[in-house]
Amino acid sequence: MSMASHALLLVAIILLSSPVVLATCACHDIAKLLPGRVFLPDSSEYKTSISSYFFLNSRQSPKCIVAPTIADEVAKIVKKLSVREKKQVAIRSGGHTPNPGFANTDSGITLDLRGLNKITLQGPSADVVSVGTGTLWRDIYATLDPVNRTVVGARVASVGVGGFLTGGGLSFFSPKYGFGCDNVVNMEVVLANGTIVSANATSHPDLFRALKGGQGNFGIVTRFDLITHSQSEYWGGAIQYAASADAAQLSAFESFKAASYDGSAEIEQTFVYFGALKTFSSTNNMFYMKPVANASALKMFADIQPQTTNTMRISNTSAFAEEIEMFQPKDQFATYATLSFRMGPGILPKIYKQWKDATTSLSAKVPNVTSVLTFQDIPPPPAANAPGNSFPFAPDSTPHKDDVLVLFSFYWPHKQEYELVESTIKGLTGSAQKLVGDRVKFKYLNYAAAWQDPIGSYGDEMNKMLVRVAKSYDPSGFFQKVVTGGFKLSM
């Protein structure tokens, strides 16, 4: 072989083993296997898929988007991709994660599962609903409200099913029924070798448990069968208060935690800085599962003044979830971080002060930032005789009574401000963690920053179990190595 052909061969080897070329080959292979399901960057389907990510920081540019519509197609795609070795495949359902590269990729293929969006009511009284992973909660509520049933789904209408349920799922109804994932009776799962299995209390129960909090480490869930609960219209909505109410707000949340637990009451208390208006304010999104206005469990919040808006009324889940949707800062850059702590006197005002100081200092450099501090409950754990999840709460523990979940979230318009905001949220989370200590280690996965370790926070025993499940269902490590993004296990 001449020097020139040696050089050509070398270039060809380098090119063929680069992620870009491998990804392009895979796009071509899948297009041959499933005509009409692969979309290249110049297609309108590709552009619509990218712009449907909730936040700008998840709008990477994969080499192609593969959009299956049934589990069989997902299985064929996974089989085709499982022989590859590099981090090349991203998996998305609703596309709401703010963590860049978790549900999309710049270097490979994105599997867009939004086409798996079938909703089927089961049984004579619709006590189970089957939903594809690409379904949006708004469509499920629209199906169930007219028959006076509901599911433990997201509080914002456009959130996706797949990420929400495999990460946990905090709902209007979580104080009574637990995390969304605790209300799943069966999952249809595509494994790394392309087989499709049912995971439930009796079939692959270890996989079933792992997928409730372990997210994308074990398989791709293509369908969830969810318990529906009887639910007619109930009291809920939002009250916004001027910043002068902040002290009363914090003290009301302390009273709420000290009062006897009422599983019908759900509240997210948020303190907000709007850079566009240069103002601080606070909002409570509050819900009581019965048609009881001013329910006593939430009255301490309803009584606080001065209020700037008040939408509390008796209505249904669709209306409440669409209302919260309207106030979400879509099409911005965003970052979340989380921690939990054992409630004690005086802690809330200290966290609030840390957040306010960090926000004030950041707003001098990032004038259009929106900064939010949220306090809410952790749901009660499943009963001892119910299928478990991956979270670190024993059946007889009472995190819903004792602990508080914190979410810090920041939203801003320009990419170049990313590092400033990231270092602020990291610093703030670190200071807050120092303040509250690590008695409650739980970090809620769906609120965790990419630099946090939510799965590690489930504890050693649970992590050993999750690694065992991953090795047994995915011995080649497809979900650890080929799938990019998401919180991986420490193998």
What is the contact surface with ligand FAD in residues (CB under 6 A)?
Answer: 54, 91-97, 102-103, 113, 133, 154-156, 159-164, 166-167, 169-170, 215-216, 220-221, 328, 446, 485-486
CA distances (Å), origin 35, targets 27, 44, 68? 11, 17, 10
> Cβ closer to ligand FAD: 167 or 388?
167
Residue 491: which residues within 8 A CB-CB, separation 6 or more? 467, 470, 471, 477, 480
- Whole-angstrom Cα distance, residue 4 to residue 26? 29
Q: Give me the least distance between CB of 65 and ligand FAD, in Å please.
A: 13
Closest distance to ligand FAD from the beta carbon of 393 (Å) = 16
CB closer to ligand FAD, 177 vs 246: 177
Annotate 169-216 with DSSP letters as a single string: ---TTHHHH-SGGGGEEEEEEE-TTS-EEEEESSSSHHHHHHTTTSGG
The single residue listed with the structure tokens 């979580």 is 174
Query: Could you tell me the smallest distance in angstroms from the CB atom of residue 251 to ligand FAD?
Result: 25
Report in angstroms how near the CB of residue 452 gets to ligand FAD at its nearest. 14
How far, in Å, CA of 15 to CA of 20, rounded? 8
**Least distance between ligand FAD and beta carbon 101 (Å):** 9
Report CA Rg, the chain.
Answer: 23
Extract the runs of DSSP E, i.e. beta strands, from 19-142.
38-39, 64-66, 89-92, 109-112, 119-122, 128-132
3-state secondary structure of 40: coil
| Minimum CB distance to ligand FAD, residue 446 (Å) | 4
Other Cβ atoms less than 10 A from the Cβ of 124: the count is 6
**Would you give the end-to-end CA distance of the chain in angstroms?**
44
Nearest to ligand FAD of 19, 246 (CB atom) = 19
CB distance 237 to 209 below 8 Å = no
Angle at 213 between CA 210 and CA 216, to 5 degrees: 75
Return the residue nearest ligand FAD (CB atom).
163
Q: Which is nearer to ligand FAD, 179 or 256 (CB)?
A: 179
Rounded least distance, CB 291 to ligand FAD, Å? 22
Q: Which residue, 212 or 246, has its beta carbon nearer to ligand FAD?
A: 212
Please state, in angstroms and rounded to a whole number, the distance separating the CA atoms of residues 160 and 136: 5
Angle between helices 347-365 and 418-436 (to 10 degrees): 160
In the complex with ligand FAD, the residue whose CB is nearer, 160 or 392, is 160
Q: Confirm if 482 and 81 have CB atoms less than 8 A apart.
A: yes
User: Residue 254 is encoded by which pair of tokens?
Assistant: 């302390």
CB closer to ligand FAD, 219 vs 246? 219
Provide the minimum distance between the beta carbon of 156 and ligand FAD in the complex, in angstroms, as a whole number: 4
> Considering beta carbons, is residue 105 or 254 the nearer one to ligand FAD?
105
* Cβ closest to ligand FAD, residue 169 vs residue 213: 169
The DSSP element (H or E) to which 210 belongs, if any, is helix 205-210
Half-sphere exposure of 423 toward its Cβ, with a 13 Å CA cutoff?
7
In angstroms, what is the minimal distance from the CB of 388 to ligand FAD?
Answer: 19
